[in-house]
Amino acid sequence: MHNGAYRNDEIKRIILKLSYTMNNYRLSTNTAPASSLSKDERDKLFSAVPTVEHLYDGRVREISSGKILYQQTSCVYEIRKLDREVFIANTLPEAASIVGVYPDTLSKYLDVKVQDSIEHWVRLNNQDIRRVAVFNLNPIA
C-alpha cells in the first residue's frame, strides 16, 4: 500500500481478498468461509512493483509520469522569521499566508529550488521556509 502497488488491478484484487480474512469476516457470526491467499498470490503481493516514490520532504511522486500526487502528500511547512521565531503550518495555503505570498507562488519556489536537498530552505519576504516530512519510512542516515 505504501509504495502504491495497489494501483495495479491484480494487486488490488489480492489485497481485497486478503481483507476478507480480517476483522468482521473472521467473527463467529460470519457463516461464509474465509479464503486465504495462495502461495502465488502472496508472492505477487510481496514482489509487487512500486508505482510511487516518497520524497524526503513528504511529497509522493508517481514513478511513471513523475507527477506529484498532492492528495497523498504528508508534510508540514516550517517557517523561520528573521527574529528566529518558528512557525509550523499544516497546509500550503496556511504557510503561504504566513509568508505573505500566494500558495501557487510558494509551491513553485519550493518545487524549483528544493530538488532533493534535505536542509535546503527557500527565502521569501525575509523568511525561510521548507517542507518537512511528517511520516517517512526511509529515514536519512
Question: What are the structural domain ranges in the chain?
Answer: 5-50, 75-133
| Helix, strand or coil, per DSSP, at residue 70 | helix
DSSP string spanning 32-51? SPPPPPPHHHHHHHHTPPPS
How much is the average pLDDT of 8-22? 85
How much is the average pLDDT of 100-123? 78
All 3 cell numbers of residue 51? 508505482
All 3 cell numbers of residue 80? 523561520
Could you give the CA distance from residue 78 to residue 122 in angstroms, rounded to a whole number?
11
Query: pLDDT tens digits, residue range 66-93?
Result: 888 877 778 899 999 989 899 999 989 9
pLDDT of residue 96: 95
